[in-house]
Structure 1
Amino acid sequence: MKKGDHLFLVDGSGYIFRAYHALPPLTRKSDGLPVGAVSGFCNMLWKLVRDARDTDVGIVPTHFAVIFDYSSKTFRNELFSEYKANRSAPPDDLIPQFGLIRQATRAFDLPCIEMEGFEADDIIATYCRMACEAGADTTIVSSDKDLMQLVGASVQMYDPMKDKQIGVAEVIEKWGVPPEKMIDLQALTGDSVDNVPGVPGIGPKTAAQLLEEFGDLDTLLARASEIKQNKRRETIIANADNARVSRELVKLRNDAPLPETLDELTLRPVNGPMLISYLKAMEFTSLTRRVAETTGTDANAITAGTVTLEGFETAHGPDLDAKPAAASTNAKADTGAASGQKTPAALAERRAQAGAGQTIDLSAYRTIRDQAGLDTLIAEAYAAGVVGFDLQMTSIDPMLAEITGITLGTGAGQAGYIPAGHKAQDSDLLGSGRMDGQLSLEAALEALGPLLSDPSVLKVGHNLKAEYLLLSRHNIALEAFDDIMLMSYVLDAGSGNHTLDALAQRWLGHAATTVKDLLGSGRSGISFDRLELERATQAAGEQADLSLRLWSILKPRLVAEGLVSIYERLERPLVSTLARMESRGIAIDRQMLSRLSGELAQKAAGLEDEIYKAAGESFTIGSPKQLGDILFGKLGLPGGAKTKTGQWSTSAQVLEELAAEGHDLPRKIVDWRQLTKLKSTYTDALPGYVHPETRRVHTSYSMASTSTGRLSSTEPNLQNIPIRTAEGRKIRTAFIAEEGNRLISADYSQIELRILAHVADIPQLKAAFANGDDIHAITASEMFGVPVEGMPRDVRSRAKAINFGIVYGISAFGLANQLSIPREEAGAYIKRYFERFPGIRDYMDATKAFCRDKGYVETIFGRRAHYPDIRASNPSIRANSERAAINAPIQGSAADIIRRAMVKMDGALEAAGLGGVRMLLQVHDELVFEAAEGDVEKAIPIIRKVMEDAAMPAVALSVPLQVDARAAHNWDEAH
């Protein structure tokens, strides 16, 4: 080695544990060999080696070596027997990977150096000394603070995870002392991970202040009596020997008897065939492809090599629950109450405990301002294999939004924000004036597109449907993603909300930055694209960072609780399905809505006159206070109850009950409310939702807003248009097909009753559904002893009300109101129903007992809905939870079935040559499609089959599903 040469020394042990802790457990498909740390190590080393040969990147090394710890026992244990005594043994699934990683280093054709009795840091220190003496420069690839004592004029460090050079100035900035005083600083602060005692109560800031005042450790200890603070003075005097011992423990040896000379570390070209042979043996397909492309090697011509296994004794596969060891001074031991167990549940518990103790430094994230920085970030993402992902948008509506910036998180505490649409602080209200120091959106997406579409890199985010849709507008398909909102929803539906803020607080104990905190509110509020970049980077980086941290906790819970299939088959694939539906939208007839709005206004005005006459005076009908005073004060109607604010309650339930008792005014109020709601919510509002470019209405589906798995829609809400009233049906006529097309409505017939017959095992109902009989007539015949033939309509109607009411846990009071019969008669009907169909009562009792025991109920597919209040001491609260728990498995199973149908539908239509048939809407048990007139006849049978067979093969229902499908020019006619 000579002057001008440059030596790279990689802290291999640090790389191992960064790779192990940063990535999820991974096994080799062929035999279950744990290889997650090996995969991460290889990806990180490949990026480093590739960049090291790129003259455009910067420093180009002439010499290169990877340094490992040989064992935990070194000369330091002779100085202090408790040195590193509190470190755990390496996890069982990591043990066989140590040898594989050393073999990987040799496959890269790099020196793999370790020495018995010395730590890797001592070997690095020795090589640094020798390189300095030869006049060469050295870069230590690590962020370990123990190595910062080596930094100097010709020695620097490089943190590859943060893409940060660490020189003398950076050491001073971080620790408050220059590198030559790092030994003394660490002697004072100690190290709990390595069990270096130090001086209790002295942290880095205090240690830096003391060293600045006294110069060095020896002087400080000699003059400790001059320290003004009593407690600090006494502590340092009492622990002077500990400080001296600690100094010897943290001081690196630079005289290790090296096994290879500097000249033997000369960097050689990558041996493509040798490396690919190893990678194929490990089954690292993605990295194999990248190495082959870079080295110009035909990977197909290379056979997989042979690897030697060391310490792989677990035949059943990796130990998912072993306690991770801390092999570098920056690694923390993973502890947990279940650390002795070997189950996914124990891993989930440990990660939750570890996550709650992590600190999150918003200042650690970096802003990516140029192409070189973006290329580095992308390389880090490939090396990580799992990245946090988030888009910053100008609007919450992805059909209208533009991309302000893109965020990638490459590990806990590591994220890069790529601003692409920020406005200058002095730009005008129209948005002109682009902030300097940004890549163009086109350049950013061009570079990021391959990564976002690469199935070998997992993208982790929160509520990714909007990101998926917005990227699709830029012709980028987001592939291989996990959505932590949906993970949380599958795990804990009914047990709290699933916003990122709530999850961060619940699992990490972290109060995430809120939109109000970030952007303000009201007139003083600003949009994200007006934020200055440092603040934007912190907020955006936090989103990606939190997503990754939460993912590491929630992912093993899915395995531990047996809910992987629910997430993988019902939730995650629905993201892309719904995004496509939302982007398609549906056409509306504005003129028809305008006419309907006028009609509703006239009817409402007529009702207002009738209401004033019945009340004997004019008043503001929409005012609950004035209405309550009229009903219960002036008119003295029965059943009045006041709310906590002292006003009379005029809820819909109160008015319905009064109307059922024959009171005319409450009935007119109910009708007036319905008319005015239809007018304001639909006929007046819908035209405002028409997209300026597509000329269609694009609703947004909420995937995690109900406890049962049902979807809801917003902006506009198309789920609540009433279909049992003439006015509601008229609104549906305004949803139309484009010229030359037809709308197809496909609706499950009595799906919840069919599921009830299945889960409660009711022979009469199952036989009726199997034979295609009139289920309500059969029920009436069973209950009332009336023949099906010639059955009076009112008898069938009563049975129908009971059939549907039972599914929702209807009470005698509710049934009496619905049928306008005495409560005693309604109670007798319900009693008779349970006598004729005893399986239903058994199902209800068993479901309530199960929920009281477990805290949740399950659909036929295993989806869980939690009802913790079923154990409440308040009878009313407990009863409400019991009714919800009885209904949830039925309604939730129906929701799961239609989700399965939606996920399968596009592929089935495409396979039938009907890719032009587009699924547009989902409304409870109904799917709405748009098809060319010539495709309708062929499409309907396929749609029916997909929907009727949706439960298969996961569940074989004991009753057939039936789907009614029709085509017409508008939605109402097709229904």
Structure 2
Amino acid sequence: MKLQQVNHAISRCNACPQRLTARHRAQGLGTDRAEIIVVTENPSAPDDREGRVGAGFETAFIMKHLQRLGMPLSKVYFTALVKCFPGFTRGVGFHDFHPDAIGTCSTTHLFDEIIAIDPKLIVTVGPKVTKFFDVKGGINSVSGKIHMTDLGPVLPLVNPVSLNKQGPRQLVAFVTSLRLMKLFAESGQLEPPPLVRYVDWVAEQESAGDVVGVDLETTWKEGMASHDPAIDIWSIGYGNEWVRNVEHMRDFVPVEARGEFPFTPVFHNASFDIEFLERDGWKVPEWYDTIIEAHLLGYGPLGLKKLMPVFTGHSLKDFKSVINAKKTYEDNEEEALDYCASDAWGTKVLHDIFWPEIKKRGLEGLYDLERKVTTSIRRMERKGIPIDQHRLVELRDSMVGDIEAKRQFLNNSGVPWEKDKDFAAWFWKGREKKAPKTATSKQLSCKKDDLLAKIPENEREDGDWEYLNATPDQLAVVQARVELAQKAKFIKTYLEHWIAGDGWVHPSFNQTGTVTWRFSCSDPNLQNVARIEGVPLHHLFVAPDGWKFISVDYSLLELVVIANLSKDPVMLDAFVEDRKRKGKYKKDIHQMRVDSLLMQQFFNTASIHDDDRQRTFAKTINYGIPYGLTGYSVKRRLKLKDQETGDALVQGFFDDFKAVKPWQDAQKRHGERFGYVKTSEGRPLYVPGIFAEWGRIKSRAENQTKNMPVQGTAAEIVKEAMVRCDEAIEKFWKGMAYIVSQIHDELLFLVRDDVVDEFKAFCLTTDGMLDTRHNAPYLVDAKVGQTWGELKQVDDPFAWNTKEEREEVESEV
């Protein structure tokens, strides 16, 4: 049957009850000369209403990105698994397919389309379509890879609509995976793996070239920190375009014969690999990292096993398939050696693809900065941050006692509290369970969010939870259960792990963990530590005797960035350094907002006369609106009676700072044209969702064009300061000062007592953290303290610990 006949049959189909929910039957978009078929789930409501060919939001989104990749759309045919729109009910959402729809639609019309086109590749969008083509596994695990099926090669993709609640990283990963379609269309087949040759590396290294891929396999196991001295290198793999090599630990060059690498290595996660190479006696002054390269170019996800199929068509083995709980290195030696060499080869292949593009786009300077940041991060992670063992034990014992008291209270209440399901059933019995559209299944059980029931009636918001008339006794039970769970998790996640440690916490900092290049932190995340009432976490971190913490924090960093990027004259005037108060700005930007005529009228009308509350309102406006805060959002956050007031407060900000809105509009236009926005230093920050036709993905991307240049520029300012301070420490204060943590706009140092004043003064200069690159300077504030909590100005419940008392406790411990 010809494709024209298939589409005619689709347009006249009445085979299943799904036809009752749709006005039109969605025909495919493309010709029978296509080489690739893209199958989405079903038409969208606008498609059905307007009778469009193709299928849904996903089709338009994919088409735009394929065009940006330079792929001819004549090679692609777009169609749907189910040809009818399944229907929509306001307040409920989209309906599921009718049970007969897939069997009727897909086994006839879709198969007829596949037969008529005879594609080289089938692309499935979303889990339902992927499952129909018999690809096993969850959509996140199978997406972005070619799978062989009875119908030929199948490439599963995540449905981009499902990403509208997630961050831009997931959209970046989706768009990156589309490159595999282009690669397949150009080659017509997947590239076979190269010949594996194990050779004497010492004899062959001269012919290997100046740049060589390197990968390490270590004895690291789940739960071990990278600084653990028990970790050894098991093998070092090498690879270039024509050969893959591996050096087993038995054949390593003797330590005394080691020195600088005889070539420039390319790593995939240089921070990890260099740490162990240097520990093993090697020096690695020059290197490349394909994770940094990929992130600079806007690709993702950044894992080697995800990038290789997309850019080369070749899939590398997964680590767990080679080494796992049942198979050790020694049990599976040859395959493990091959795995190590293959990863090294893959790393070099990716570098050969990425580096020319980085040079073409003029990103070498930013790449060099990130290399220096990697070095600073390695030193910071290796040193760690000191934590007081005695305070840890005291806090744990206190929390254990509190947990036991709450457990006894819950047992006496007669409420079935131990299992989520039983507790939720008790809580919701006799009540209507209602949640907003964004609620997850976890929120529907009786957990932390149910405490919203405590909010007084006059402060409740439309669209939030159905607030319940719970009795004080019921609320006390809920509160006790939540606090018990929080504290039990806190002990397990933090305290027990730290008590068993060496007195230092070594978190991991990821410089490519966010799309704006801000650091992310894990194991533990000290940038976003869980806040539990009565738990003085920051006071657990105590500087050793003879040392102090110095915290250096940028003042109003993101607002100053907005002033400089938008060049708003009123904001720039406010952020001039005060001549009489060194290190302080001339005007208080938040007080300016409080004193504005519009805000004063609002405060008088709303009878808000408390200074602290007025300042809170001003901060919400100042920080929120430049990030896309709308009148409706202002209404919800400030609990206003109507949206009109919120709209007026938004407009008031733009009326006072007239250059901000035109700058935001210019960023949006730049994003719509190029798919990315830039920091002040020209770093591209990618917003692939900007090419969506409508919906939350589009609106979220538009907001990202406003806030990402601000966050990205702020991240660059902090990173460059970190590098300057780290290099100065190595030169002037080696062994006397350390960077021990980076928290948003703050650097935390551990400094010896005799150089505290000297080092603090250095941080306040342009050689340290003060930054004057733009019209308005980026001023910093420095604080000195014995504990981290002291710097945070948090009351110290452990302050009774005198030296004598500590020695007594120590003897008992």
> TM class by shorter-chain length?
0.5 to 0.7
Write the letter of the residue equivalent to 2:226: P
Aligned to 2:351: 551
C-alpha separation in 2, matches of 1:848 and 1:890:
13
Aligned to 1:776: 590
Contact persistence 1:588–1:734 (CA under 8 A): yes
Contact persistence 1:736–1:971 (CA under 8 A): yes
Number of aligned positions between the proteins: 580
SS at match of 2:282: coil
SS at match of 1:567: helix
1:802 paired with 2:634, answer no
Distance change in 2, residues 1:694/1:631 (3 Å): closer
Aligned to 1:737: 543
C-alpha separation in 1, matches of 2:568 and 2:480:
42
Contact persistence 2:403–2:484 (CA under 8 A): yes
Contact persistence 2:538–2:789 (CA under 8 A): yes
1:365 paired with 2:194, answer no
- Of residues 304, 307, 324, the one that matches 1:500 is 304
- Of residues 418, 422, 431, the one that matches 1:635 is 431
C-alpha separation in 2, matches of 1:677 and 1:757:
44
Write the letter of the residue equivalent to 1:392: E
C-alpha separation in 2, matches of 1:921 and 1:388:
31
C-alpha separation in 2, matches of 1:786 and 1:966:
35
Contact persistence 2:233–2:276 (CA under 8 A): no
Distance change in 2, residues 1:398/1:879 (3 Å): same
Pairing 1:367-406 to 2, within 5 Å after superposition: 373-381=200-208, 384-395=209-220, 397-400=225-228, 402-406=231-235
Aligned to 1:792: 611
Aligned to 1:173: none
SS at match of 2:504: coil
Distance change in 2, residues 1:702/1:644 (3 Å): closer
Contact persistence 2:391–2:540 (CA under 8 A): yes
C-alpha separation in 2, matches of 1:653 and 1:805:
24
Shift of residue 511, structure 1, vs aligned partner: 1.0
- Of residues 700, 713, 720, the one that matches 2:508 is 700
1:407 paired with 2:236, answer yes
Write the letter of the residue equivalent to 1:596: L
Q: Which runs of 5+ in 1 are unaligned?
A: 1-348, 368-372, 421-437
- Of residues 743, 750, 756, the one that matches 2:556 is 750
Aligned to 2:664: 844
Aligned to 2:782: 965
C-alpha separation in 2, matches of 1:899 and 1:837:
29
C-alpha separation in 1, matches of 2:720 and 2:478:
38
Deviations 1:96-150 (A, max 9, x none): xxxxxxxxxxxxxxxxxxxxxxxxxxxxxxxxxxxxxxxxxxxxxxxxxxxxxxx
Shift of residue 585, structure 1, vs aligned partner: 1.0
1:566 paired with 2:398, answer no
Shift of residue 483, structure 1, vs aligned partner: 0.1
Aligned to 1:855: 675
SS at match of 1:945: coil
Contact persistence 2:237–2:343 (CA under 8 A): no
Aligned to 1:765: 571
Deviations 1:381-414 (A, max 9, x none): 5xx2111112111116421253343434352131
Deviations 1:168-214 (A, max 9, x none): xxxxxxxxxxxxxxxxxxxxxxxxxxxxxxxxxxxxxxxxxxxxxxx
CA RMSD in angstroms comes to: 3.8
Contact persistence 1:593–1:683 (CA under 8 A): no
Contact persistence 1:744–1:968 (CA under 8 A): yes
Contact persistence 2:549–2:748 (CA under 8 A): yes
Structure of larger gyration radius: 1
C-alpha separation in 2, matches of 1:670 and 1:818:
25
- Of residues 484, 490, 493, the one that matches 2:296 is 490
Write the letter of the residue equivalent to 2:202: D
Shift of residue 734, structure 1, vs aligned partner: 0.3
Write the letter of the residue equivalent to 1:803: N
* Percentage of matched positions with identical amino acids: 23
Contact persistence 2:590–2:622 (CA under 8 A): yes
1:821 paired with 2:630, answer no
Distance change in 2, residues 1:459/1:831 (3 Å): same
Shift of residue 760, structure 1, vs aligned partner: 2.0
Contact persistence 2:770–2:779 (CA under 8 A): no
Pairing 1:196-345 to 2, within 5 Å after superposition: none
1:515 paired with 2:311, answer no
Contact persistence 1:944–1:963 (CA under 8 A): yes
- Of residues 537, 540, 550, the one that matches 2:340 is 540
Distance change in 2, residues 1:863/1:912 (3 Å): same
Aligned to 2:88: none
Distance change in 2, residues 1:607/1:534 (3 Å): closer
Shift of residue 754, structure 1, vs aligned partner: 0.9
Contact persistence 1:463–1:483 (CA under 8 A): yes
Aligned to 1:875: 695
- Of residues 591, 603, 618, the one that matches 2:390 is 591
Distance change in 2, residues 1:717/1:379 (3 Å): same
Distance change in 2, residues 1:639/1:416 (3 Å): closer
SS at match of 1:685: helix
Distance change in 2, residues 1:682/1:642 (3 Å): closer
Contact persistence 2:399–2:487 (CA under 8 A): yes
1:931 paired with 2:751, answer yes
Shift of residue 805, structure 1, vs aligned partner: 1.8
C-alpha separation in 2, matches of 1:604 and 1:830:
45
C-alpha separation in 2, matches of 1:876 and 1:719:
28
SS at match of 1:920: strand
TM-score normalised per structure 1? 0.54
Contact persistence 1:596–1:731 (CA under 8 A): no
Write the letter of the residue equivalent to 1:518: V
C-alpha separation in 2, matches of 1:840 and 1:651:
41
C-alpha separation in 1, matches of 2:231 and 2:623:
46
Shift of residue 683, structure 1, vs aligned partner: 4.5
TM-score normalised per structure 2? 0.64
Contact persistence 1:755–1:890 (CA under 8 A): yes
- Of residues 415, 426, 429, the one that matches 1:618 is 415
C-alpha separation in 2, matches of 1:669 and 1:943:
50
